[in-house]
Structures are given as C-alpha cells and as structure tokens.
Structure 1
Amino acid sequence: MKKALTILPELLLLGLSTYWFLENWFGIKYFNSFALVVMLVLIFQIFFQNRYIAFTLAALIAVFSIYMVFAVISEFHDFPSVTSEALQLLSVGLFFCFMLFSSSFFLVYKFLPRLF
C-alpha cells in the first residue's frame, strides 16, 4: 500500500494519458503517438524512478496544465450564455487541469529530498 502511495502521481498521470490515448483511438479513430510515448515514459518512470525524467515530466505537465486552464476558460466563453453544459465543461475541465498540476507538483516534491 505504501508503494502505491509513493507512485500515486505517476499512476494518476498514467491513467490520464491512457484515457487520452484510448479516447483518440476509439473515439475518433486516430492513433495518437504522442499519448503513447507519454504512457511509455510514465511506465518507465514507475519502474525506474529516475529523478531527471521526473523533473522533466513535471515541468512539461505543469506548463501543459496551465495552458489547458486557458483553453477551458476560452471554450467556456464561447458559450452564448451560462448553461448547465457550460458549467459542466468548466468544472470538469478545471478539475482535470488541477489534477494534472497537482500531480506534477507532487512528482517534484517526491524527488526533491533526493536531490540535495
């Protein structure tokens, strides 16, 4: 159980990237090679726990999640009025962005003591 908690950020990110890949594959019939590479890097990270890969992943995911916050807000403003669909888009989108950003934060936090 303790091992699962120590790799929780990687497991969460792996789950999101797997969802991303499968949604592209089955939803729009598109082979998303970028999502597949992210999944493979996360699997590598789970097994080998490399701090340099962790910091790189955390930085990229943090930047991506901040970008996605702006994308969600932009999509929200495209609705002509505030409807239940607009609020659902905003709440679910911001929840996923928060999960991504917090995972990147905990990924850095986990490897920070080993650096010094």
Structure 2
Amino acid sequence: MKKYLFLLPEFFIISLSIFWFLDNYLGSGHINYFTVVVFIIVSLQLFIKNKIVGIILGSVFFLFGLYMILAVLSEFKKFATIDFSAIQLISVGFLICFVLIAASIGMFYKSIPKKI
C-alpha cells in the first residue's frame, strides 16, 4: 500500500497534464507541446526513478505551483464583484495549486537521499 501511495504525486501531475492538454485541444484545437513534454518526462520518471531528475522536477513543479497561485490571484482581481464564478475560480484554482505543491514536495521528498 505504501508503495502505491508514493506514486500519487506523479499520477496527479500526469493527470493534470492530460487535463491541461485536453482543455487546450478541445477548447481551441491548439496542441500544447509543453503538456506533452511534461507528460513524457513525468511518465519516464515514474518508471526510471532517477533521484536527480526527481529533485529537479519536484523543485520546478513547486515553483510553478507558486507562480500559478499568483496567476489565480491576478485573475481573481479582475472580477468587479465577488460572485459565484469568482469564488469558484479562487477555490478550484487554489485547490489545484496546493495539490500541485503537495505533489511536488512529495516528489522532492522521495527523491532525496535517506540517512540510515
């Protein structure tokens, strides 16, 4: 069970990249190659389990999560009045950002060398 629990960060980031790709492709017909690259790199990391790549990916996704918090706040400030859509934006946006940050911390944690 613990083995599968440690795979959750990668599965969340893979599912997030699939959602982001489908959102761009189905919404505008645009292929987002960045999401394809993220999907491939994280999928390879899931099977290869390179410690250095895990630390780098965890750090990059952590910084990206912090950036996305600022992006959600920026979009929230564009609302003239706080209505249901503004609350939905801030709650879903923060939920995704904080779970991404938690997943990146999990990736970082399981990649650092453990002292015995």
TM-score normalised to structure 1 length: 0.93
C-alpha deviation, 1:2, in angstroms: 3.6
Indicate how the Cα distance of structure 1 residues 54 and 115 shifts in structure 2: closer, same or farther if over 3 A, else same: farther
Distance (Å, rounded) in 2 between the aligned partners of 1:13 and 1:83: 30
- Unaligned regions of 5+ residues in structure 1, if any? none
Runs of 4+ in 1 over 3 A off after TM superposition: 113-116
- Unaligned regions of 5+ residues in structure 2, if any? none
Q: Which residue of 2 aligns with 1:83?
A: 83
- RMSD over aligned CA atoms reads 1.5
Indicate how the Cα distance of structure 1 residues 74 and 115 shifts in structure 2: closer, same or farther if over 3 A, else same: farther
Distance (Å, rounded) in 1 between the aligned partners of 2:56 and 2:17: 16
1:24-76 C-alpha deviation (Å, 9 max, x unpaired): 11121111111000000011011111111111111111111111101101111
Distance (Å, rounded) in 2 between the aligned partners of 1:75 and 1:25: 22
Structure with greater contact order relative to length (CA < 8 Å, sep ≥ 6): 2
Is the contact made by 2:52 and 2:111 (CA closer than 8 Å) also made in structure 1?
A: no
Distance (Å, rounded) in 1 between the aligned partners of 2:115 and 2:33: 32
TM-score normalised to structure 2 length: 0.93
Q: Per the alignment, in what secondary structure is the counterpart of residue 113 of structure 1? A: coil
Distance (Å, rounded) in 1 between the aligned partners of 2:115 and 2:10: 19
Letter of the aligned partner of 1:101 in structure 2?
Answer: I
Q: Which residue of 2 aligns with 1:101?
A: 101
Letter of the aligned partner of 1:83 in structure 2?
Answer: D
Distance (Å, rounded) in 2 between the aligned partners of 1:74 and 1:83: 16
Distance (Å, rounded) in 2 between the aligned partners of 1:45 and 1:53: 7
Count of aligned residue pairs for this structure pair:
116
Distance (Å, rounded) in 2 between the aligned partners of 1:62 and 1:111: 14
